[in-house]
Chain A
Amino acid sequence: MKDKSKSPLKVALHGMDGRTNKMMVMYLQGPCKGAAAVVEDLNAEIDIIDADSLEAKTLLERKLAESAKPIIALSLQELTFENILYVKKPVKVDDMLFALSEAAAILSVKKRSSNHVNSNMENTAIRQSQSLIPKTENVLPSVKDQVKKLTTDEQKKTSKHQTAMQLDEGKFNSYIGSIPGLDVNDPKQFTAATYNPKQYFQGYVQSALMVAEAKKQVMCLNSSWKPLIIFPHNYEIWLDADDKQLRAFASVVMNKISVPAITLTPVESATSSIQKDLEKFHSKDAFLWKLAAWTSKGRYPDALDIHRPVFLKHWPNFTRLVITPHALRIAALLIASPRTLPEIADILKIKPQYVFVFISAAYALGLIGQAKRKADEIIQPSAIKKSEQQGLLNRIIGKLSLNKS
């Protein structure tokens, strides 16, 4: 398989007769060392036009009007058209490679910008500047400036890119909390160790996320607390609250007084305070994960049957989540085969509360499914394949866990 970074740029040739066309194909393959390959117009990323041909004027006007592709014009005359990269004839290898690299840079910025314009508050200015490619001599600085702006905005969203917080058993109760009068670790109380996310802020956030994603519309969830803004295109949530405040609000049961105050409204334009407070952006998954963990307080969602096996669709993105005790082990076990919640605790020899909180968080992200087929209950899951190197793996894990800095 070929490394993609070495893939040639796809170019279409215009205004050239058969012989020139063939020569240009060979020139790009040979002297230009395959930096570009000639393809059909429809599949091309870049247009190369012989600007001295009879139909050149019409061609250039049509391409500028119809296509957003970078254009390289080859001409005996020095061209000063805007939005066109110029290579003087007779074409020299260095000049052609330089024009191709400029075109590639433009393509790369366009790709990034098109990803970004859908995002929260990127305004039309970027789209406008993207479509207005400046004069040849100004292309590179402009491209660099744009890349810089885009990257710094994303990098300023520090909460999104923060590494995971790992909770050990000792920190669990103080960080996650517990329900007074309920011992979730007592098998006799398992059936009572449930909660309904819909009765908490978590349920309203999940519903709001579904609406925002379905409508592809930035939405604001208003409640008696702080407004929460959802940016569905970038899977982001903006909230002006710290973890301590969110944890407290997560555990409040919504009652008849608070529910009518909860509304979901479309947001047409992001306010300047949001634009300034980029560090208050959270990834949707990381936010929902911790919100569910705090709402659960060691319980599991009442939609799950504790006697039926559950499965994990795929690994959560643990490096950007709050990692509850034994979460990686639980994930690895469930990826291997479906298990009931008490089975997981038994096999891993851990307290059920650690299983329940993991299941609650993963369930909120849609990663947990309950085995519905009779076969899943009848057939015993395969025994865990113990590694012959278990002792060694234990020691490596021990070493890695010691060095968390």
Chain B
Amino acid sequence: MSQYKIIFTGPVGAGKTTAIESISDIPPVKTDASASDMTKTKKSSTTVAMDYGIMNLTGGEKIHLYGTPGQERFDFMWDILTTGGIGLILLLDNTRADPFQDMKFFLDSFQKFIAETNVAIGVTQMDLSNKPTIDDYHIQLQGIGINPPVFSVDARVKNDVSLLVQSLLYSLDPEIEA
């Protein structure tokens, strides 16, 4: 049976692990470890390899949900992870010093994969920091020349994560139906 996967990426603390947990049918396999570098200023543990979850579809198919590690030093894994992926979910933490910089970094890093598939962007922590606004993100994206979905997301809320993934899938083909 074919292996289908959706990739979740974004900087440290953006909520990739939590988002996968929100929609996975199995307790996600986490590879967190205590943070020992700059990461520790954001949270006490972080993903050092990758996260993994599964969505079971009718007919026995499985969608594999992979979360990339946030730190740049693991970027050699990103190409391997994206091979055969359906699309990319990019989560950005709105409380970070420069979320636009983060966005550009990840869009740039996954440029080839996005060109072949699509991307949907979720902005987390907007209840802690309400600026930049979602409109501000769209203005930045205009400059890059892409127009993907950008939603406020609480990674703990299944509906938020589900809508973000749905928008990614509809971007791939608006004619698909539930």
Contacts and interface: CB of A to CB of B under 8 A. Distances in A.
Interface of A: 1-7, 112, 115, 151, 154-155, 157, 160-161, 163-164, 166, 234-235, 313-315, 317-320, 323, 328-333, 335-336, 347-348, 384-387, 389-390, 392-401, 403-405
B130 interface: yes
A106 to B, nearest CB: 14
Contacts of A317: 134, 150-152
Contacts of B141: 314
Given A318-B163, A396-B169, A400-B165, 16 more contacts: A4-B97, A164-B160, A315-B151, A318-B149, A319-B151, A319-B159, A323-B163, A329-B170, A332-B174, A348-B174, A384-B174, A389-B86, A390-B175, A397-B170, A399-B55, A404-B162
A1 B133 CA distance: 24
Interface of B: 4, 11-12, 23, 38-39, 41-42, 55-59, 61, 63, 71-72, 86, 96-98, 101-102, 104-105, 108-109, 126-131, 133-134, 138, 141, 147-154, 157-160, 162-167, 169-178
A315 B148 contact: yes
A365 to B, nearest CB: 10
Which 10 pairs show the lowest CB-CB distances between chains A and B?
Answer: A332-B170, A387-B173, A332-B174, A333-B174, A315-B149, A401-B178, A319-B151, A4-B98, A1-B105, A400-B162
Contacts of B147: 314-315, 335
Nearest to B63: A396
A396 B101 CA distance: 32
15 contacts: A1-B101, A1-B108, A112-B129, A115-B131, A157-B127, A317-B151, A329-B170, A331-B167, A347-B175, A384-B173, A384-B175, A389-B86, A397-B166, A397-B176, A397-B177
B153 A319 contact: yes
Given A5-B41, A163-B160, A318-B163, A336 B96 contact: no
A366 B74 CA distance: 41
A3 B134 contact: no
A347 B176 CA distance: 11
B90 to A, nearest CB: 14
Nearest to B133: A235
B77 to A, nearest CB: 16
A400 B148 contact: no
Contact of A394 (B133, B160, B176): B176
Contact of A164 (B4, B104, B163): B163
B157 A399 contact: no
Contacts of A404: 158-159, 162
A332 B177 CA distance: 12
Nearest to B87: A393
Nearest to A347: B175
A396 B55 contact: yes
A344 B32 CA distance: 46
B126 A161 contact: yes
A155 B128 contact: yes
Nearest to B141: A314
Contacts of B108: 1
A320 B152 contact: yes
Nearest to A150: B128
A399 B57 contact: yes
Interface centre among A154, A399, A405 (most CB of B within 10 A): A399
Nearest to B97: A4
Contact of B167 (A166, A328, A384): A328
